[in-house]
């Protein structure tokens, strides 16, 4: 354990030999990269929705238009967590308010990396919303007369499912713009 602490102390000492602005910019780039990991969720969710939509059209080709509308609407909602992550990554890269902050460098570095890491929470909503979209598209092909109700339930469920993505966005923005530790 003592060897690990010695290594960490030596690493931090070495790290702080660099210009603080360079370290914060480097951490911002790392945070932006981490933020974009959230795109995994929407990718999986939208793929599921598209696959279920295609399956549903195969089951009931006469309702292809309704199924496609449901699938596209649901897949668009599933993209929101990816959009949140993109916004945080763009802020980190182009409008980072912490660049040049005259405070403890490690807190700023950890904040920008943490802002990016928190967006990984967007994976869950993307997958869940895509699953809801896919099942809804599938159900519309079987019960097209209930199209309106199916879409309402899908959107309500997706809205609730988006909460963790919104929480991640709030934490990222707090770390960047209203960090209580700075």
pLDDT in tens, 110-160: 899 999 999 999 899 999 999 999 999 999 999 999 989 999 999 998 998
Q: Determine, yes or no, domain membership for 9.
A: no
182 in any annotated domain: no
46 lies in some domain: yes
Query: What's the whole-model pTM score?
Result: 0.80
Domain of 39, in residue numbers: 19-177
Q: What is the share, in percent, of the chain residues with pLDDT greater than 70?
A: 100
Q: What is the pLDDT of residues 67-94, one digit of tens each?
A: 999 999 999 998 998 899 999 999 988 9
Count of domains for the chain: 1
Instruction: Check which CATH number belongs to the domain holding 42 and give it.
Output: 1.20.120.610
Q: Long-range contacts made by residues 101-106, C-beta under 8 angstroms, separation at least 24?
A: 101/24, 101/182, 103/182, 104/182, 105/16, 105/20, 105/23, 105/24, 106/12, 106/16
**pLDDT of 25:** 87
């Amino acid at each position: 354990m003592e060897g690990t602490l010695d290594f960490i102390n030596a690493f931090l000492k070495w790290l702080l030999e660099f210009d603080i602005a360079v370290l914060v910019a480097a951490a911002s780039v790392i945070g932006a990269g981490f933020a974009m990991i959230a795109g995994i969720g929407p990718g999986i969710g939208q793929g599921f929705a598209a696959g279920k939509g295609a399956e549903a059209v195969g089951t009931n080709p006469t309702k292809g238009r309704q199924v496609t509308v449901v699938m596209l609407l649901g897949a668009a909602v599933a993209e929101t967590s990816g959009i949140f992550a993109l916004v945080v990554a763009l802020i980190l890269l182009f409008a980072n308010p912490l660049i040049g902050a005259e405070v403890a460098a490690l807190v700023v570095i950890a904040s920008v990396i943490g802002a990016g890491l928190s967006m990984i929470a967007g994976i869950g909503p993307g997958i869940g919303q895509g699953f809801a979209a896919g099942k809804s598209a599938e159900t519309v092909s079987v019960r097209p007369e209930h199209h309106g109700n199916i879409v309402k339930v899908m959107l309500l469920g997706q809205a609730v499912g988006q909460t963790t993505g919104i929480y991640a966005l709030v934490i990222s923005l707090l770390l960047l713009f209203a960090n209580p530790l700075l």
